[in-house]
């Protein structure tokens, strides 16, 4: 046995031991860590053609959904980039399939200052990853935020702060339905815009719409009826149209037939109808239903998810009004109640006289998101 062998064995033992210790210390091997980490700065993500002047790359196209998500009054700008020559598969009108490489950005600003930009990119056939960037004080670039998010990045009202969500919080909405992409769909891009949609932003020249996607041949398989007649929410009144659209965006990301909480039986996601599809899940599962949460000061037995003609007994409205942790809805992404939307929902409930004449059949979903995706997972942490 030589000294060389001794050194080799010692080295082998030391390396093995160090490896074991390192793996214990490092611990986390998250199941959902992206294979290629997002860049450390927003300016490195491809959003800008000119990093210094912050000029948007023209391949990144602006768009605005007709029913925006309420984000405490943030001014938002959004862009999408589709890989060159690739198209969106729209054969399933309620679940567009985007080509790998598709990237979305969404910028949040409060009081004229950019606060946060989120990036959402498709990195594999069934996988999107998230990144959030917090803007620097000098507004020249934004820095990648840790997976756990970042609290108190902008005061949106006295004592109320905008927080950058954690990845788990991102997934709470973006992993809860038939598609991970929430603001870019046939309904959201429809050229038949809802004039009563709360906080809707005007369509600017050059923005992506359903018609522009068709004209530019960036979408395939879209039903021809949606090309000739852009989709719209089938409300019985203009107010109901706007309310159902608003609820679809702000509540339907979690409350839908494919969500892990589908067992609650509350379906607010608006699905573009085929002849065999119910057009008004939101009516059928709210109006007159007892629900799981009772309005605290309603007389016993009178609380309803939506009580026709009685906003004060309507749990949906009361929870949308609340920003208390025990009752707030939606539970994340907002610290201020949406007064404009509350007025609209109140008007709608006030005018309701009863359940819809032809309520939709409500059945458990055949395939849930739970069955399609692994549970939120964290190993070794």
Residues in contact with other proteins by the rule CB under 8 A: 1-3, 5-6, 9-10, 12-13, 16-17, 19-20, 23-24, 168-169, 172, 176, 254, 259-261, 263, 293-294, 296, 322-329, 331-332, 370, 375-381
In angstroms, rounded to a whole number, what is the distance separating the alpha carbons of residues 255 and 263?
10
- Which of 102, 136, 135, 131 has its CA nearest to residue 119? 131
Q: Are 103 and 234 in contact (CB under 8 A)?
A: no
Q: Is 156 helix (H, G, I), strand (E, B) or coil?
A: strand
Shortest distance, CB of residue 370 to other proteins, whole angstroms? Answer: 5
Shortest distance, CB of residue 31 to other proteins, whole angstroms? Answer: 8
Shortest distance, CB of residue 297 to other proteins, whole angstroms? Answer: 10
Reduce the secondary structure of 107-122 to three states and give it as a string: EEEECCEEEEEEEEEE
Q: Which is nearer to other proteins, 213 or 320 (CB)?
A: 320
Residue with tokens 């390192």, as numbered in its chain: 22
Q: How many CB atoms lie within 10 A of CB 339?
A: 11
Phi, psi values for residue 186, rounded to 5°: -60, -45
Q: Which is nearer to other proteins, 10 or 227 (CB)?
A: 10
Q: Which is nearer to other proteins, 220 or 294 (CB)?
A: 294
- Which of 174, 170, 171, 191 has its CA nearest to residue 182? 174
Phi, psi values for residue 312, rounded to 5°: -65, -20
Q: Which is nearer to other proteins, 272 or 305 (CB)?
A: 305
Long-range contacts (CB closer than 8 Å, 24 or more residues apart) made by 285-288:
285/362, 286/316, 287/352, 287/354, 287/355, 287/356, 288/354, 288/355
Q: Which is nearer to other proteins, 239 or 264 (CB)?
A: 264
Cα–Cα distances (Å) from 99 to 123, 181, 258, in that order, read 9, 12, 22
Q: Which is nearer to other proteins, 12 or 351 (CB)?
A: 12
Strand partners, 149: none
Shortest distance, CB of residue 249 to other proteins, whole angstroms? Answer: 16
Shortest distance, CB of residue 199 to other proteins, whole angstroms? Answer: 23
Q: Which is nearer to other proteins, 217 or 381 (CB)?
A: 381
Shortest distance, CB of residue 210 to other proteins, whole angstroms? Answer: 29
Q: Which is nearer to other proteins, 343 or 378 (CB)?
A: 378
Shortest distance, CB of residue 81 to other proteins, whole angstroms? Answer: 29
Q: How many CB atoms lie within 10 A of CB 114?
A: 20
What is the 8-class DSSP label of residue 304? B
Shortest distance, CB of residue 331 to other proteins, whole angstroms? Answer: 5
């Amino acid at each position: 046995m030589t000294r060389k062998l001794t050194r080799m064995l010692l080295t082998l033992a030391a390396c093995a031991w160090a490896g074991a210790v390192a793996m214990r210390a490092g611990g986390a091997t998250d199941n959902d860590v992206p294979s290629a980490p997002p860049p450390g700065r927003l300016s490195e993500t491809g959003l800008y053609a000119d990093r210094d002047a912050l000029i948007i790359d023209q391949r990144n196209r602006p768009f605005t959904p007709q029913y925006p998500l309420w984000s405490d009054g943030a001014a938002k700008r959004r862009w999408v980039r589709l890989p060159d020559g690739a198209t969106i598969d729209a054969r399933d009108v309620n679940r567009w399939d985007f080509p790998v490489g598709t990237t979305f950005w969404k910028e949040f600003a409060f009081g004229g200052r950019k606060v946060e930009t989120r990036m959402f990119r498709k990195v594999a056939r069934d996988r999107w990853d998230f990144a959030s960037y917090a803007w620097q004080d000098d507004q020249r670039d934004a820095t990648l935020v840790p997976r756990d998010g970042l609290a108190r990045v902008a005061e949106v009202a006295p004592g109320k702060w905008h927080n950058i969500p954690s990845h788990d919080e991102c997934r709470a909405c973006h992993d809860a339905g038939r598609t991970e992409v929430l603001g870019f769909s046939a309904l959201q891009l429809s050229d038949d815009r809802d004039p009563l949609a709360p906080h809707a932003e005007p369509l600017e020249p050059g923005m992506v719409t359903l018609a522009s996607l068709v004209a530019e041949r960036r979408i395939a398989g879209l039903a021809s009826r949606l090309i000739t007649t852009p989709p719209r929410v089938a409300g019985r009144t203009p107010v109901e149209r706007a309310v159902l659209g608003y609820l679809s965006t702000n509540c339907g990301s979690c409350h839908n037939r494919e969500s892990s909480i589908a067992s609650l039986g509350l379906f607010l996601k608006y699905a573009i109808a085929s002849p065999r599809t119910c057009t008004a899940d939101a009516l059928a599962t709210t109006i007159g239903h007892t629900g799981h949460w009772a309005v605290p000061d309603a007389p016993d037995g009178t609380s309803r998810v939506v009580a026709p003609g009685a906003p004060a007994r309507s749990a949906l409205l009361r929870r949308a009004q609340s920003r208390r942790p025990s009752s707030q809805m939606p539970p994340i992404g907002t610290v201020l109640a949406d007064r404009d939307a509350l007025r609209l929902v109140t008007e709608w409930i006030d005018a309701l006289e009863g359940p819809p004449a032809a309520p939709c059949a409500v059945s458990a979903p055949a395939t849930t998101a739970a069955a399609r995706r692994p549970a939120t997972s964290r190993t070794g942490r």
